[in-house]
Amino acid sequence: MRKNHTPYWLYHTQHFFNQRYIRRIIEPQFDQIGTGLSVHHPRSLEIFGKNIRAGNNLHIISNKHNPVSLSCWESKQSQGNIVIGDNVLISPGAKIASAAAINIENNCMLAAEVYISDCDWHGVYNRTRPFRCSTPVHLKENVWVGFRSIIGKGVTIGKNSIVAAGSVVVEHVQDNVIVGGNPAKVIKSIDPQKRMITREFLFNSSTDYTVNQIDLHKYLLLKNGTFSWLNSIFAPKKSD
């Protein structure tokens, strides 16, 4: 498709029922959740276990082909724990799995198919006992983790740092650097003196972010007709 033919009335209806689903089904699965939770395709989101907490303005972009997964596992020795700060973005296919503790601070961004785990899940010599090889993971404020990157157990990633796409991070990353590769190494520094615009900026304006998004969709979709939408599904043309 070259454009979105969805009529605004359909988008508005879907948005209404998605919001009800988020409030009644998804929010109760968190031990604590702030205001402004937004979930794209909320029925595809996978949440398992207890001790999952998040702050304000958490945005999760999930879909049925690439669901987002948040899971905390419990054993006799440990209990998983996931803490997510304010204004965090989690993109399609991202998976966060904890057997100890994963802390993601304010304004962090996780690109599509990122995997974060604080556990090896099986020992080197005794491969029948899971969970005894866990060490907490900590992403400090404003970290950006690129597409299909893997963050291993025991790793701390410093403030403002970026993990390049496809990287495997198994050692601590300092503040204000870009790392990449397998294993990830520093490839560039970030100037901490330059102005840094974080995701917090989206939610500090005088106009509510959610209202802005609804107004944008209204502008883009209001001229779409029901007949042209159905036609684009069952008898699409090259112009569709």
Mean pLDDT for the chain overall: 92
Flag the least confident range among 50-54, 100-104, 191-195, 213-217: 213-217
Flag the least confident range among 3-12, 40-49, 120-129, 224-233: 120-129
Q: Render pLDDT for 27-39 as a digit per residue (tens, 0 to 9).
A: 999 999 999 999 9
Beta-sheet strands, E only, within 146-235: 150-151, 156-157, 162-163, 168-169, 177-180, 185-189
- Cα–Cα distance measured from residue 166 to residue 112, given in angstroms and rounded to the nearest whole number: 11
User: What residues does each domain of the chain span?
Assistant: 1-30+205-240, 37-195
Q: In this predicted structure, what is the pLDDT of residue 220? A: 85
Q: Which CATH fold would you assign to the domain 37-195? A: UDP N-Acetylglucosamine Acyltransferase; domain 1 (2.160.10)
Q: In this predicted structure, what is the pLDDT of residue 207? A: 61
